[in-house]
Structure 1
């Protein structure tokens, strides 16, 4: 019996899905660390410290791998994503979460994947298949449920809501700007130089960072370093790897799993026991991601190599696929 050989396209799809999964888990853990470090660091100082730790980590990796400067065609996208996503997004999100409850922040920021789908379809020509739309709708309903269940007394700062909305817009714009850059540069180059751009944009907060680091407890500083090394350096690189191999819309929909994982991590790390409504919302988030990343049977068969389609046909009882020559006036 012949052992089937994995098709390169299928292998790439699996690796991209694993990279996206690693990104989602690490980004979910960032919410717990931000909450801890945010008690000692202001939003701008925390963003700068996180970006400096991430840039240092990525710089060492680039030196070891002998990665050079990104090609000229990729620099515009790296610059835009660095300012929007690495810089503005982190400051706005840190600030917004200090003014609104976690449920409201999660609900507002999770409009980002919808904006990514709209911008991707408009600017990148991404297709938005029905399964992706259905999955996004289910996940967004789950995010709303989690947000409502985690809201405290229902009182929210208008400024905090606006900041979270601006963070979502910056996140979507950064992803859409990053996608074309990945066609010319490696994921490591795009992430490293995007992180450097974000750090430069946050340099006005350097004085605050130095002052607050002198008084901050060691645990808060370690949380900031963790944010830079793992949810920034590692997670943004795995994100870029996965984004280079799929559409911006599909990657954006994957991040809907973050609220569900944040609920689980808060339960384990902070002792915050989620209620039944929160668990239902988390399940909806995960179900929506599964639907958005799935493909129809016809699409899966079309993407499969010819040998795999023949093997599938034999296993399903339809018999082998026989190729015949068109008859002509001569015998072969």
Structure 2
């Protein structure tokens, strides 16, 4: 019987790693596609609003079907859905773009992607889940790799920008922590759908009151030397980089837990550099390539450390790997 449980746990971990990688890669596509829209006159607020709005429209029907007519989990988790949508979706997007209005992209991303360290600290202080030595070593490697990938040469910090970037970091941390809450009764599709709907509503409100400027253009977008119609770029942003990314992110969190899934999420940085080269012709430097290897090594080491912790700890003392709803 224990062998069956072990195999099931390993299967859940393997599926979780695949879902986390898919989520990271699909999230990373948003940068190059959004950059193409920015070049034609779109404002960051307009891109984010349309992206999240399309994602909500696409995922919502699947989220409703996943409930199978039982709306009880939604009523019991209204606060969770509001927090997930406001922090994990809207605040993450809005605060990041507000940050880059005051500082360079590299430092803003570095602060935002320090979220795995925040997740580790929260789980340690709040739930007593102390990371093992191997996990800590992986964290250190991932941090070094992240700094190298972002190539912060000559970067300058602005206090206002730092504050907004910290807000984005809080949003990303909430995203990973709430994804891992497996015993809410909400199917992953329903959590993703509810979060996207709430996030779209919050962003729409920010746009309506003028806090988030919104400008758009119908001009086609230049990607990888090809002229792409605006509607296609928006479809990819909404369906792939929002819908698929959030759904697979929730699925990964349910199977891996918050700590491991947050570090696999760092693959988004490496993938973003690759897509920037492929779609925008921005060739990564040797330092960035080295940083990517170091970061990937750190992620692997963290996963090994988490697996060792699960094997060594008594049942119930570490964050459980949840079965799919």
Q: What is the TM-score of this pair, normalised by structure 1?
A: 0.79
Mark the structure with the bigger radius of gyration.
Answer: 1
The alpha-carbon distance between structure 1 residues 84 and 210, as it changes in their structure 2 partners (threshold 3 A), is closer
**Structure 2 alignment gaps of length 5 or more:** 222-229, 314-325
Give the match for residue 123 of structure 2.
120
Q: How far apart, CA to CA, are the structure 1 residues paired with 2:9 and 2:243? A: 27
The structure with higher relative contact order (CA 8 Å, sep 6+) is 2
Partner of 1:28: 28
Residue 280 (structure 1) aligns with: 290
Q: CA deviation at 1:218?
A: 4.2
Provide the aligned C-alpha RMSD in A: 3.0
Q: Distance in 1 between matches of 2:95 and 2:268?
A: 18
Deviations 1:236-275 (A, max 9, x none): 1111111112221111111222222222221222111111
Cα deviation code 1:16-40 (max 9, x no counterpart) = 1110110111112222223223343
Change (3 A) 1:92 1:34: farther
Matched, 1:108 2:118: no
Instruction: State the aligned residue count.
Output: 297
Asked if 1:243 corresponds to 2:253, the answer is yes
Contact 1:126–1:248 (CA<8 Å) still a contact in 2? Answer: no
TM-aligned CA distance change 1:36 to 1:161, over 3 Å = farther
Task: Decide whether the 8 Å contact of 2:179 with 2:258 is kept in 1.
Answer: no
Q: CA deviation at 1:155?
A: 4.1
Instruction: Tell me whether 1:266 sits opposite 2:276 in the alignment.
Output: yes
Structure 1 range deviating more: 64-73 or 112-121: 64-73
Aligned-partner Cα distance in 1 for 2:112–2:122? 16
Distance in 2 (CA, whole Å) between partners of 1:172 and 1:296 is: 18
Asked whether the 8 Å contact 1:48–1:206 carries over to 2, the reply is no
How far did 1:98 drift? 4.2
- 1:32-67 Cα distance to aligned partner (Å, 9 max, x none): 223223343333332221111011000232355564
**The 10-residue stretch of structure 1 (73-82 or 226-235) with the greater mean CA deviation from structure 2:** 73-82
Deviation of 1:298 after TM superposition, in Å, equals 6.2
Paired position in structure 2 for 1:217: 219
Contact 1:74 1:181 in 2 (8 A): no
Q: Aligned partners of 1:260, 1:154: CA distance in 2, in Å?
A: 19
* Maintained 8 Å contact 2:86/2:202: yes
CA contact (8 A) 2:135 2:305 kept: no
Distance 1:301 1:222 in 2: 46
Structure 1: 5+ residue stretches without partners:
304-332
1:165-314 equivalences under 5 Å are 165-180=166-181, 183-204=184-205, 205-206=207-208, 212-213=215-216, 215-219=217-221, 220=230, 222-295=232-305
Cα distance in 2, alignment partners of residues 248 and 65 from structure 1: 23
Deviation at 1:168, TM superposition (A): 0.8
